């Protein structure tokens, strides 16, 4: 069954061998080629689930099993970030989509019940929790490659935004794009990041910038949650830029978000979190505080864009509102650092954005050496980081942020899971958590994951106890 499922533009093409679907193996006559439009994804998934996958899977001879915790902490901080718990020469058992148990091969208890059991030899390979990407904007209508060339010619991200490009450019494009087209392109992006090892992802709105268009984006994200097997969290980021028609009175847009949009988002249960781009020429600290207060009334925790270009007091304000995460932090004052101490707010670094628009990298060493935690995420978006590749993010964090491979693995798994409210189910190899993990290709040590930068060290991805890489691929 594994081969034959391909995503193609606008439709799903599925080659079904009856031999694997209903156990009449090898009969060429019974081969069918089915084509569905995008609504067929649901059917496709139903068929994949019907594939008689054993309820139990046992991985043996694992060179390194990483991120093992008998019971998982919510996140790791400071010196503990370099202390990635690993087990060498290990086995891992999965049952009903969850991690059941693990141990050393030398203490292998043997198999007493072979029913519905698949055994996989992972000799020479590593298994680690899948990447948890806690900050993306991966629903968007088209690329901004033109701005990329403008930047190469010398314009800055801020100059491009000032002349009507940037976020407003994406908002114009999105407004004219049908919901189904947005779903389709986002599904392809989800497949791509899944094949690169991501198992859980947060997606923001923020290219709507009107009540109707923001709701449209959030409904697209809801559809993605229904259609895709990755775990998806949704964030309302209506306060991403001041829309053109509110330029003269930005407070009126904040009022619209609070009084019109938020109640509708809450009523339709469209968001898990609330976000604000708190930055010079975008939203002030005071406006952010009003929005976070209003969001909290509807039970939405904050995950905010702060300190990307300027430190304007947004970190301490976000902490005051018990933000779950503060993201970007390319500019970080001593005051900001102190404000984070003793809190449960997760700092999040986005090195793909620093690379792409050539701004400073988040000072990871200052953060971790101050005893704080740090998560890493892609910021996948068409303007400042058009890549959802967590493997690249990990390499950049080692090369440019001075993080150790063990630190980036914890930052991109457990701490990323925490930064999107998923540390109970994701981020570590812990009995009872989702069996969503990466099997690497054969390697000597985990350090090779960030070392081979620009490469994909992932051989297989398992999501909720099912192998997904190789089942879903892009294009013809």
Which partner from the list Fe ion, ligand NIG, none does 353 bind, CB cut-off 5 to 8 Å by kind?
ligand NIG
User: Among 44, 76, 167, 438, which residue interacts with ligand NIG (rule: CB under 6 A)?
Assistant: 167
Comparison of 303 and 305: residue with beta carbon closer to ligand NIG = 305
Rounded to the nearest whole angstrom, what is the least distance from the CB of residue 279 to ligand NIG in the complex? 7
Candidate ranges 122-130, 363-371, 382-390, 450-458; the one touching ligand NIG (CB under 6 A)? 382-390
Rounded to the nearest whole angstrom, what is the least distance from the CB of residue 454 to ligand NIG in the complex? 21
Comparison of 204 and 290: residue with beta carbon closer to ligand NIG = 204
* Nearest position to Fe ion, beta carbon: 379
- Chain-centre distance for alpha carbon 29: 42
Whole-number Cα distances in Å, 61 to 65, 89, 128, 245, 346: 10, 5, 14, 61, 35
Rounded to the nearest whole angstrom, what is the least distance from the CB of residue 165 to ligand NIG in the complex? 9
Q: Are the CB atoms for 129 and 72 separated by under 8 Å? A: no
3-class secondary structure for 384-424? CECCCCHHHHHHHHHHHHCCCHHHHHHHHCHHHHHCCCCCC
For position 166 contacting ligand NIG by CB under 6 A, the verdict is: yes
329 by Cβ neighbours in 10 Å (0-12 / 13-18 / 19+) ranks as buried
User: Among 353, 419, 446, 471, which residue interacts with ligand NIG (rule: CB under 6 A)?
Assistant: 353
User: Among 379, 407, 460, 472, which residue interacts with Fe ion (rule: CB under 5 A)?
Assistant: 379
10: alpha, beta or left? (left if phi > 0; alpha if psi -120 to 50): left
Compute how many other C-beta atoms are within 10 angstroms of the C-beta atom of residue 335: 11
Distance CA 327, CA 348 (A): 5
**Number of Cα atoms under 13 Å in the Cβ half of residue 332:** 23
# binding residues, Fe ion (CB under 5 A): 1
Comparison of 144 and 321: residue with beta carbon closer to ligand NIG = 144
Helix (H) and strand (E) counts for the chain? 18, 20
Distance CA 308, CA 348 (A): 11
Dihedral, CA of residue 435, residue 436, residue 439 and residue 445, to nearest 10: -90
For position 165 contacting ligand NIG by CB under 6 A, the verdict is: no
Comparison of 229 and 378: residue with beta carbon closer to ligand NIG = 378
In sequence order, what are the residues at sequence separation of 6 or more whose Cβ sits closer than 8 angstroms to the Cβ of residue 386? 143, 144, 148, 356, 380
Which partner from the list ligand NIG, Fe ion, none does 167 bind, CB cut-off 5 to 8 Å by kind?
ligand NIG
Candidate ranges 11-19, 53-61, 370-378, 379-387; the one touching ligand NIG (CB under 6 A)? 379-387
Distance CA 200, CA 232 (A): 6
Candidate ranges 3-11, 315-323, 372-380, 400-408; the one touching Fe ion (CB under 5 A)? 372-380
Comparison of 386 and 405: residue with beta carbon closer to ligand NIG = 386
**Helix, strand, coil abundance in the chain, percent, nearest 5:** 35, 25, 40
Rounded to the nearest whole angstrom, what is the least distance from the CB of residue 206 to ligand NIG in the complex? 7
Distance CA 435, CA 429 (A): 8
For position 384 contacting ligand NIG by CB under 6 A, the verdict is: yes
For position 396 contacting ligand NIG by CB under 6 A, the verdict is: no
Comparison of 336 and 379: residue with beta carbon closer to Fe ion = 379
User: Among 290, 303, 305, 321, which residue interacts with ligand NIG (rule: CB under 6 A)?
Assistant: 305
Candidate ranges 44-52, 381-389, 418-426, 447-455; the one touching ligand NIG (CB under 6 A)? 381-389
Name which of residues 14 to 53 contact Fe ion (CB under 5 A): none
Rounded to the nearest whole angstrom, what is the least distance from the CB of residue 362 to Fe ion in the complex? 13
Rounded to the nearest whole angstrom, what is the least distance from the CB of residue 308 to ligand NIG in the complex? 5
Residues interacting with ligand NIG, by CB under 6 A?
Answer: 137, 166-167, 170, 277, 305, 308, 353, 379, 381-384
């Amino acid at each position: 069954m594994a081969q034959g499922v391909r995503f193609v533009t606008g439709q799903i093409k599925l080659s079904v061998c009856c031999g694997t679907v209903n156990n009449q193996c090898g009969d060429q006559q019974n081969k069918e080629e089915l084509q569905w439009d995008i609504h067929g994804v649901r059917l496709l998934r139903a068929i994949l689930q019907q594939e008689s996958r054993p309820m139990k899977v046992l991985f043996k001879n694992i060179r390194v099993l990483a991120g093992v915790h008998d019971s998982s902490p919510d996140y790791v901080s400071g010196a503990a970030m370099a202390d990635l718990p690993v087990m060498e020469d290990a086995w891992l058992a999965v049952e009903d989509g969850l991690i059941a148990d693990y141990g050393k091969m030398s203490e292998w208890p043997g198999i007493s019940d072979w029913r519905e059991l698949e055994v996989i030899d992972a000799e020479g390979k590593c298994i680690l929790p899948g990447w948890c990407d806690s900050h993306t904007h991966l629903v968007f209508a088209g690329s901004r490659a033109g701005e990329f060339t403008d930047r190469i010619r010398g314009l800055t991200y801020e100059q491009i935004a000032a002349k009507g490009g940037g976020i407003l450019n994406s908002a114009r494009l999105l407004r004219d794009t049908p919901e189904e087209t947005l779903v389709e392109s986002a599904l392809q992006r989800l497949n791509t990041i899944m094949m690169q090892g991501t198992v859980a992802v947060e997606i923001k709105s923020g290219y709507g910038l009107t009540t109707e268009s923001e709701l449209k984006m959030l409904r697209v994200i809801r559809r993605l949650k229904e259609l895709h097997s990755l775990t998806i969290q949704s964030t309302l980021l209506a306060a991403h830029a001041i829309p053109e028609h509110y330029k003269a009175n930005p407070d009126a847009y904040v009022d619209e978000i609070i009084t019109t949009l938020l109640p509708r988002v809450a009523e339709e249960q469209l968001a898990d979190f609330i976000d604000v781009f708190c930055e010079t020429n975008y939203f002030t600290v005071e406006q952010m505080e009003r929005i976070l207060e209003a969001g909290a009334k509807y039970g939405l925790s904050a995950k905010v864009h702060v300190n990307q270009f300027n430190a304007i007091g947004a970190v301490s304000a976000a902490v005051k509102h018990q933000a779950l995460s503060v993201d970007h932090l390319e500019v970080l004052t001593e005051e900001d650092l102190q404000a984070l101490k003793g809190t449960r707010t997760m700092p999040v670094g986005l090195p793909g954005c620093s690379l792409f628009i050539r701004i400073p990298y988040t000072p990871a060493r200052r953060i971790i050496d101050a005893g704080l935690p740090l998560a890493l995420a892609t910021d996948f978006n068409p303007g400042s980081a058009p890549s959802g590749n967590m493997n690249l993010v990990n390499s950049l964090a080692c090369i440019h942020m001075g993080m150790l491979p063990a630190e980036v693995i914890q930052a991109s798994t457990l701490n990323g899971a925490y930064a999107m409210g998923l540390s109970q189910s994701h981020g570590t190899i812990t009995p009872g958590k989702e069996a969503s993990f990466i099997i690497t290709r054969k390697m000597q040590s985990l350090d090779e994951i960030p070392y081979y930068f620009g490469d994909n060290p992932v051989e297989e991805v398992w999501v909720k106890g099912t192998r997904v890489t190789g089942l879903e691929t892009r294009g013809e």
